[in-house]
Amino acid sequence: MRFTLYSRSYCHLCEDMLNALQAMAPAGQAFEVDVIDVDADPALVERFDELVPVLYGRLDEPELCHYFLDAEAVRRYLDRELVRAS
């Protein structure tokens, strides 16, 4: 499973979301999480700025959540991805 987390290096909410997401991984199966620093790209700052952290599953779909992890949205995404993979 792959996620993209738009984040900031000094953001405690971002760290909290990443830790909460990783804690949801099934035993023995880690998630791949691409952590993107929005401050490295002015276009990302313009797009996300005060919304970080912002979590995506598939980048061509709407965000799963921002500010705080929405565990239910992540579970629904994981269920959909498991169906797609089978």
**What pLDDT digit, counting tens, does each position of 9-66 carry?**
999 999 999 999 999 987 777 789 999 999 999 999 999 999 999 999 999 999 999 9
pLDDT at position 6 is: 98
In this predicted structure, the answer to whether residue 86 has a pLDDT above a threshold of 80 is no
pTM for the whole thing?
Answer: 0.93
Contacts 24+ apart (CB under 8 A), 59-63: 59/4
Domains for the chain: give ranges and CATH numbers.
2-85 (3.40.30.10)
Secondary structure (3-state) at 34: strand
Q: Which amino acid is at 59?
A: L
